[in-house]
């Protein structure tokens, strides 16, 4: 399936083409793809030159846009089901690429591949979201003799920009609803681990989507300004850091945006919570994929009555959890961080917290880009000063804070500039729901850690965590606009 899209380099390392204007082509140059596991170059990808970038945009705009609109819904659905079948055939290739390229533990890599296949299949059920509305006019004197039909229409060309942490699933979760709703797409994967997106593009091509309805833009983020501001692109769906999201919205001008940005997810543990359940879920939410998840738990706000017991259980559960080489340990929970710079940043954030009075409950340990889980105890009055609270920390570092009551927990949680998700642990549904109502976030999980799986529920944040919602069905709404046709009978 993937044989024709790469060649062996002089040193035997595979060199991948990219997909532009319906063809697999080499770029202007090649860029090394380095594995975070051991720093080895595992592949090279094509980086597009200026003219190829223009060719990619022109192809989707001039041809792809029409081709996908004329590719009926019934065929789109069949193509997605075919793509799911092809992904099952190439399952191990996807898992291996995610392990090598993103440094994912095998469990995470397998889960991400399965979730992508399920997303391909379940998305087809949601094609009904493309239905419209009929609006009778007789509710207003002015429109008495008319009626309106409201249709959902694609934007035309959608630019999908994905981050490094779910290089397959997030890319897919943008491309699938875009194509399903009749948009042509330019996919720009993260430069740190672009291989899964290259393979996924191949799968979609083989699944029969019109050749020019999709282009793969493998170029560094800093070279994207011209693409982002291009008027031929009418919608951008971006997942990544708040800083880059903000830059994109300023550069892009008038377009439709779906921005899924950073988070600072709190877990609020009330004194009537089950401490075993809460500690188990919190540790999972903290360490899975080394905390390189926007929905990782970064703050634990525990009420006085449960604080000591929770702290003890958290520490017990963290014992023995350490980053391992995913190639040597198939059961690893944590692997490396994506690169050395990210690990250095976590160390900086840790040192800042200690300098400002936080107490380390776990011994700090870092070897290269492998970072051990960090739990810091912080005074509630001081937490706002910490960079760990103010910045979008992307690693296994969590703050534990004692709070008096629900109101204090909510006040601290809501003082964050982020508002992605929150978790509330309590055995009393009424108390938990009262807290959930007050939290300024996109999703609240009761007695569960924030996790979004295949995107069954809508997903997205408020405040600096972004605008818009993703999800199997919600993404379709996000990537379409409405057109109203008013029929006057007079």
**Closest residue to ligand NAD, based on beta-carbon distance:** 221
DSSP state of 64: I
Selected from 154, 263, 395, 455, the binder of ligand NAD by CB under 6 A is 263
345 binds ligand NAD (CB under 6 A): no
Q: Report how far residue 142's alpha carbon sits from residue 1's, in angstroms, rounded to the nearest whole number.
A: 60
Selected from 61, 200, 345, 394, the binder of ligand NAD by CB under 6 A is 394
64 to 59, 187, 244, 316: CA distances (angstroms): 6, 13, 27, 55
Selected from 420, 436, 441, 472, the binder of ligand NAD by CB under 6 A is 420
Quote the least distance from Cβ 320 to ligand NAD, whole Å. 27
Question: How many residues bind ligand NAD, per CB under 6 A?
Answer: 29
The smaller minimum CB distance to ligand NAD, of residues 248 and 436, is found at 248
Kindly identify the residues of this chain, within the stretch 227-246, that bind ligand NAD according to CB under 6 A: 228, 239-241, 244
Selected from 391, 392, 406, 421, the binder of ligand NAD by CB under 6 A is 392
Are the C-beta atoms of residues 180 and 207 closer than 8 Å to each other?
no
Selected from 224, 270, 337, 376, the binder of ligand NAD by CB under 6 A is 224
SS3 category, 471:
coil
Are the C-beta atoms of residues 197 and 203 closer than 8 Å to each other?
no
Region from 20-28, 142-150, 256-264, 443-451 binding ligand NAD, contact rule CB under 6 A: 256-264
The smaller minimum CB distance to ligand NAD, of residues 240 and 323, is found at 240
| Closest by Cα among 81, 61, 91 to 214 | 61
| Closest by Cα among 44, 13, 120, 130 to 454 | 120
Quote the least distance from Cβ 165 to ligand NAD, whole Å. 5
The smaller minimum CB distance to ligand NAD, of residues 94 and 418, is found at 418
161 binds ligand NAD (CB under 6 A): yes
Q: Report how far residue 14's alpha carbon sits from residue 11's, in angstroms, rounded to the nearest whole number.
A: 9
Selected from 43, 98, 261, 349, the binder of ligand NAD by CB under 6 A is 261
Maximal C-alpha separation, the chain: 79
Number of Cα atoms under 13 Å in the Cβ half of residue 414? 12
Selected from 35, 46, 113, 165, the binder of ligand NAD by CB under 6 A is 165
The smaller minimum CB distance to ligand NAD, of residues 151 and 247, is found at 247
What DSSP string runs through 28-62?
SEEEEEE-TTT--EEEEEEE--HHHHHHHHHIIII
Kindly identify the residues of this chain, within the stretch 183-202, that bind ligand NAD according to CB under 6 A: 188-191
The smaller minimum CB distance to ligand NAD, of residues 238 and 307, is found at 238
387 binds ligand NAD (CB under 6 A): no
R_g of the chain, CA atoms, integer Å? 24
The smaller minimum CB distance to ligand NAD, of residues 127 and 229, is found at 229
19 binds ligand NAD (CB under 6 A): no
| Closest by Cα among 83, 60, 79, 275 to 155 | 60
Selected from 107, 132, 221, 340, the binder of ligand NAD by CB under 6 A is 221
DSSP state of 142: G
Q: Report how far residue 455's alpha carbon sits from residue 173's, in angstroms, rounded to the nearest whole number.
A: 8
Quote the least distance from Cβ 481 to ligand NAD, whole Å. 22
| Closest by Cα among 68, 83, 79 to 118 | 83
Kindly identify the residues of this chain, within the stretch 349-378, that bind ligand NAD according to CB under 6 A: none
Q: Where are the alpha helices (DSSP H) in 272-320?
A: 275-287, 304-318
Structure tokens at 452: 């979004």
Are the C-beta atoms of residues 433 and 446 closer than 8 Å to each other?
yes
Selected from 64, 105, 154, 163, the binder of ligand NAD by CB under 6 A is 163
Q: What is the 3-state secondary structure of 326-351?
A: CCCCCCCCECCCCCHHHHHHHHHHHH
SS3 category, 466:
strand
Question: 269 - beta bridge partners?
Answer: 302, 425
Quote the least distance from Cβ 246 to ligand NAD, whole Å. 10
Active site residues: 260, 294
Kindly identify the residues of this chain, within the stretch 284-303, that bind ligand NAD according to CB under 6 A: 294
Quote the least distance from Cβ 410 to ligand NAD, whole Å. 21
Structure tokens at 178: 């875009």
Binding mask 49-78 for ligand NAD (x = CB under 6 A): ------------------------------
- The site for ligand NAD (CB under 6 A) is made up of 161-165, 188-191, 221-222, 224, 228, 239-241, 244, 247-248, 260-263, 294, 392, 394, 420, 461, 466
């Amino acid at each position: 399936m993937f044989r024709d899209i790469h060649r062996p380099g002089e040193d035997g390392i595979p060199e991948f083409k990219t997909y532009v204007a319906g063809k697999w082509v080499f770029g202007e140059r090649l860029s090394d793809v380095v594995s975070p596991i051991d720093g080895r170059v595992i592949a090279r990808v094509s980086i597009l030159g200026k003219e190829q970038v223009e060719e990619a945009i022109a192809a989707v705009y001039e041809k792809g846009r029409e081709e996908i609109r004329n590719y009926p819904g019934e065929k789109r659905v069949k193509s997605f089901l075919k793509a799911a079948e092809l992904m099952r055939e190439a399952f191990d290739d996807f898992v291996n690429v995610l392990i090598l390229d993103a440094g994912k533990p095998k469990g995470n890599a397998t889960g991400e591949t399965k979730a992508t296949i399920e997303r391909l299949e379940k998305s087809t059920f949601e094609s009904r979201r493309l239905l419209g509305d009929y609006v009778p006019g007789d509710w207003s004197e002015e429109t008495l003799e008319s009626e309106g039909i409201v249709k959902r229409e694609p934007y035309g060309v959608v630019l999908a920009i994905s981050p490094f942490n779910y290089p397959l699933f997030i890319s897919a979760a943008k491309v699938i609803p875009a194509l399903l709703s009749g948009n042509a797409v330019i996919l720009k994967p993260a430069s740190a681990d672009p291989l899964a997106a290259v393979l996924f593009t191949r799968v979609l091509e083989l699944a029969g989507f019109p050749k020019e309805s999709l282009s793969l833009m493998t170029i560094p983020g800093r070279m994207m300004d011209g693409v982002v501001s291009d008027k031929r692109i009418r919608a951008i769906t971006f997942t990544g850091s708040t800083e880059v999201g903000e830059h994109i919205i300023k550069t892009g001008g008038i377009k439709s945006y779906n921005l899924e940005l950073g988070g600072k997810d709190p877990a609020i543990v009330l004194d009537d919570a089950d401490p075993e359940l809460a500690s188990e879920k919190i540790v999972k939410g903290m360490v899975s994929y080394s905390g390189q998840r926007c929905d990782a738990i970064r703050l634990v706000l525990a009420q006085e009555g449960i604080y000591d017991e929770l702290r003890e259980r958290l520490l017990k559960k963290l014992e023995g959890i350490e980053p391992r080489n995913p190639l040597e340990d198939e059961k690893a929970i944590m692997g490396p961080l994506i690169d050395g710079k990210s690990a250095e940043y976590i160390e900086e954030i840790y040192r800042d917290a200690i300098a400002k009075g936080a107490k380390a409950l776990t011994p700090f340990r870092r070897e290269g880009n492998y970072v051990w889980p960090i739990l810091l105890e912080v005074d509630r009055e001081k937490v706002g000063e910490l960079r760990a609270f103010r910045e979008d920390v992307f690693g296994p570092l969590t703050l534990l804070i004692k709070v008096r009551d629900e109101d204090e927990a909510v006040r601290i949680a809501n003082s964050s500039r982020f508002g992605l998700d929150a978790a509330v642990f309590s055995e009393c549904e009424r108390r938990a729901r009262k807290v959930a109502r007050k939290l300024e976030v996109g999703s609240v999980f009761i007695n569960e850690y924030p996790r979004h799986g295949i995107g069954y529920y809508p997903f997205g944040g408020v405040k600096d965590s972004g605008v818009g919602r993703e999800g199997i069905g919600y993404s379709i709404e996000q990537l379409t606009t409405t057109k109203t046709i008013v029929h006057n009978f007079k």
